[in-house]
Every structure is written in C-alpha cells, then in structure tokens.
Structure 1
Amino acid sequence: MTDAAHRLHAVAHAQDGTALAYQHQGAGPRPLLLLAGQANNHHWWDGPREDFDSTHRTITMDHRGTGGSGKPQQGYSTQEFAEDAIAVLDHLGVGRADVYGTSMGGRVAQWIAARHPDRVRRLVLGCTSPGGAYAVERDVSVRRSLAQADPAAVRGALIDLMYSPGWIAGHPGPYATLGDPDMPAHSRRGHLLASNGHDAWEVLPDITAPTLILHGEQDRLTPPDNVPLLAARIPDARTQVFPGARHAYFEECRSEAAELVREFLG
C-alpha cells in the first residue's frame, strides 16, 4: 500500500478541541508515528514513508496550523504539539508506537518520549536539537537568508539549506519540505515561536526508549554539533551522521537512512 491514493485520512481532536488531521497507510504489524518539520504538513514524509510500509503502519499528522488541521490562534508550542500527537494515537487506539521525528518534529518527539514513556517503543530523532541555552544555533547568516522580503529568495535559500547542490542537480523538485503554502500568517508565526522556544534539556534524561539520532554532516539549519549534546543527555542513544548531507538527509540519503531506521526499529 505505497500509493498515496491508498492513504487513509481521519480527524482527531486535541485537548482544546482543535481538529487534528492525520493519515495512515502501510501493511506492517507495528505503528510508526512520523512527525514533520516546522510549518510543514504530512506531505513532508511523502516518499520516505513508503520505505516503512512493509514493516509498519505509518501514521502522519498535520500539525495544528497546517494542512487539514485546525488553525487556532493559540496552542503553538512543541509541548502542545506533543500532546496533539498523543491525541492522534489515542484516536487510533494505539497504545505504544515507534516515533520518528525530524527537525521541529524531532523536538516534538523529545517531549512525547519524555512525558509519555509508556507510549514510545523506540525513538528516532533526525536533524534536530535539544533547544534552550545549551543548543548550538544556526548562524546569523542563515537567519538573514530566511528573513528576506522576497519569497522567491527565501525559497531558494531554503532549498539550499535542505539539499546539497549535487542532489538538487539530479532532483529538480517539486520539494515537499519547503513549508505549507496555505498556512495563515498567525499559524506560521506560531510554528516559528514554538520551534525557537523549544527547550527539552532538563527532561531528555527521562527518555527511556532506545533512541537513534540521525543528522546531515553539512546541516546549517540545525548544526550537527547538536548530535553529541542529545546523545549525552539521552541514555544509551546511538548516532549516525550522513557525510555531505544537509537538513533533509532523510530524502538525500533516503535508502541508507531508511535501512538504518528499519534495522534499529527491528
């Protein structure tokens, strides 16, 4: 069941009543929750999720503010997004799942695993950071490139941050990782504040699930110096850095990353 046409769509509701659109597909015996990056909907995982269809039933969701989910004025924090994810698992009747979060989705996954250890069998964190005072932040030049007034310039900068030039040359797009174009301004601002305000440093040692941390070596959006920080705080975490890859390593190094994740999940 690898065709997106076979993807089943449903709606759960958050604790505050916000509608949460989610999608599931695959014939595998175990549930795998896939969490997308900042200001992105479930299409972030189009393509890579198919690599898990034979081993898992993959579950994606539209974060509040994106896709088919509600777009409230409030509730934008990585902690709240984590509770939204739990609401989706509850609606599906999933007691325990493997969880794989990338970028802001990795920040959300940290809260899920720390606050709800009984709900996470195994945890994969990709291209993410612990946030807070100890995190290694992106360079000011990266922030400036994403704050330009020209949308086309911002899009070009984001593509460059996501993928290496060599990969772009062979994959001209379209790309599913550049943000949900239909997000209202208040939701986009809420996602930015949520990601920037993330700080799970104190709770990372509470994570009990076996953890795999993945990152691109040339990631300038979330520097790979965050990998050893996460690994030092999460008990018995394993790490893998992909040479030459940037933020979207899960696409650029798709086959290698998927094989590692499948092996880790067992």
Structure 2
Amino acid sequence: MAYVRTDDGVRLHYQVWGPSDGEPLLLVHGLGADHRAWIMQRRSFGARYRCIAFDNRGVGSSDKPEGPYDLEVMARDALLVLDAAGHDSAHVVGVSMGGILAQIIGVRAPERVRSLTLACTACRHLPWRRELLAEWIEVAESEGMGVFVRDNIRWLMGPRSLRRIWPLATFLAPLVVNVPPHGFAAQARAILAMDDAVADELSAITAPTLVTVGSQDILTPRGDSLELAERIPGAELVIIRGGAHMVQAEHAGTFNRVVHEHLDQVAARPTSASESRTA
C-alpha cells in the first residue's frame, strides 16, 4: 500500500498499476466509494496505461476525519496523489462526485490534465438532488450505511441489474460502501456546499473532454451531461444504452471501450464544437 500525507495532515491511500512506461491515467471515484470502484477497469485500463487510483479522504484506507470536507481541497488531494505517483500530468477519469473533482482539476490546473472523462456527473445543483442528498445524510447518520445502500440502491443501478442482485441486497449492502457514516456525510455535505459558479468556469477547460452517461441514470440524468458537453469547448457526449449511475460497473465493457476510444483519438479530437453519439 502507498500513502501520501496532505498539508492538513490527512493520509491518503493510493494504488498504481499498469506498464511503467504507460501514459498516466488518474481515476477519481464517486461519493462513498473507494479504489475498488474501478475493479472492472483494472485489467482493461492497466493493459496500456499507468493507472493511479486512490481513496478520497473519508473512505477506504485513507484517513477519515470528521470534517467538514471541501471539494476544492479534495481536488487538490487528487493532484497530490498524482505528484506522489511521480507524474506532472495525466488523463483524468472521474465518475459522479469524482467527475466534479475532475471538473475542478480541469479548471484550476489545466496544465496537469492531458484529457478529461466525466462520467455520470453534473456541474450544478438541482433542488430535488439537494433534497435527496440531505435525506441520504440523515439516513446514513441515523441508520448506518447498510440501510442507506439497501434503501437507495435504485438510484445507482438500472432496474434489470437491480432485479438480478436484489435477493442478495441485504447481505451485500454493508459491503458495497467502505465508508463510515461520518465520512459519507462529510463528502455529501461537501457536494452540497459546492458553489454552482464553477459551472460558469467550464468554458476555460482546454483538455479534450469526453462526457458520458447511462441512458437510465436517474441520479445524474442525461440533461446534466448535455449541459456539461455544451459548456466545455469541443466536448464529446456519449450516451451508453441501458446504463444507470453505476455505468462503469454495470456496463463495464461498453464504458471501457468508450474511454479507450476517447484516449486513442484525443490528439485528433476537434475543439471547435460539441459532438454526441450513443454507445
């Protein structure tokens, strides 16, 4: 296990794999998840890229201070991990909350970003999502993460996948999210505290950008991704048929292919107008 310590004393756990001469690929996961969120990408991405995945503060094997947390600080955490892994810049792939962190990195540190992939994420708050996150915080703190996952997994997985795993949901729920309630709540509150003004800065992103979303994502629906693609110059939007919010796990083959295609074509990607397609 590798660790790096932040300026405010938080120890962050990270893992590195893939060919030592591969281009660096920084993987930034979502709310409540840890590096295991990338298990379905490990072999595919690791075959060609030097992958760096880490546990955000509050989850996994990283320190879990009480908070409050700040997404701007967590974005700097990601860059600190990149430094510790020995890279000045990387392709950055972020999902959900990790997609917000990736947006911040793209705006605040463009020289560190070779390309961006923003998956199942958004750039601003919506009233119903604010209410939902507040409910999630209350459930996590009052009833624990097992109850939270069991009662809210429908927001994360598509109906077909959910029907397949539902008989095991009660057993699996406590294992899905490796985070204590206070860590989860602190991350969720950081999302709620994020200023929507960052959305107005997305036009400054210079990295070739892929925005992707599952067609059945109800937590960050395709409208969020359409807005991202419109705000980021030259961004390409890819909608993955049948995918829900956990698209990188449910539809890993398609997700991995779409990201590989983006990375393969990044040098030639147009920068003057947005594109869209369906996978």
TM-score range with shorter-chain normalisation? Answer: 0.7 to 0.9
Displacement of 1:227: 1.0
| 1:196 alignment counterpart | 192
Q: 1:20 to 1:153 in 2, by over 3 A?
A: closer
Query: Does residue 138 of the first structure (1) align with residue 129 of the second (2)?
Result: yes
Write the distance in 2 (CA, Å) between the matches of 1:216 and 1:87.
30
| 2:65 alignment counterpart | 72
Q: Deviations over 1:175-214 (max 9, x none)?
A: 8994224x252x2221011122233212211111000001
Given candidates 10, 14, 17, the residue that maps to 2:2 is 10
Given candidates 99, 106, 127, the residue that maps to 2:99 is 106
| 1:3 alignment counterpart | none
Displacement of 1:147: 4.9
| 2:47 alignment counterpart | 54
Q: 1:75 to 1:95 in 2, by over 3 A?
A: farther
After TM superposition, the structure 1 stretch with the greater mean CA deviation from structure 2, 171-180 or 249-258, is 171-180
Q: 1:178 to 1:131 in 2, by over 3 A?
A: farther
| 1:24 alignment counterpart | 16
Write the distance in 2 (CA, Å) between the matches of 1:175 and 1:104.
20
Overall identity of the aligned pairs, in %: 33
Displacement of 1:165: 2.7
| 2:276 alignment counterpart | none
Q: Normalised by the size of structure 2, how large is the TM-score?
A: 0.82
Write the distance in 2 (CA, Å) between the matches of 1:146 and 1:218.
24
Q: 1:216 to 1:147 in 2, by over 3 A?
A: farther
| 2:239 alignment counterpart | 241
Residue 63 of structure 1 aligns to a residue whose secondary structure is coil
Gap runs ≥5 in structure 1: 1-8
Write the distance in 1 (CA, Å) between the matches of 2:239 and 2:130.
20
Residue 138 of structure 1 aligns to a residue whose secondary structure is helix
Residue 32 of structure 1 aligns to a residue whose secondary structure is strand
Q: 1:38 to 1:142 in 2, by over 3 A?
A: closer
Residue 72 of structure 1 aligns to a residue whose secondary structure is coil
| 2:74 alignment counterpart | 81
Q: What CA RMSD, in Å, does the superposition of the two structures yield over aligned residues?
A: 2.5
Gap runs ≥5 in structure 2: 265-279
| 2:251 alignment counterpart | 253
Runs of 4+ in 1 over 6 A off after TM superposition: none
Give the aligned length.
Answer: 254
Query: Does residue 42 of the first structure (1) align with residue 35 of the second (2)?
Result: yes
Q: Normalised by the size of structure 1, how large is the TM-score?
A: 0.86
From the two aligned structures, give the one with the greater helix fraction: 2
Displacement of 1:17: 2.5
Which amino acid is 1:81 matched to?
M
Given candidates 216, 219, 244, the residue that maps to 2:217 is 219
Write the distance in 2 (CA, Å) between the matches of 1:229 and 1:264.
19
Write the distance in 1 (CA, Å) between the matches of 2:99 and 2:154.
21
Given candidates 205, 208, 226, the residue that maps to 1:207 is 205
Write the distance in 2 (CA, Å) between the matches of 1:107 and 1:55.
25
Residue 33 of structure 1 aligns to a residue whose secondary structure is strand
Displacement of 1:122: 0.7
Q: Does the 8 Å contact 1:211/1:237 carry over to 2?
A: yes
Residue 199 of structure 2 aligns to a residue whose secondary structure is coil
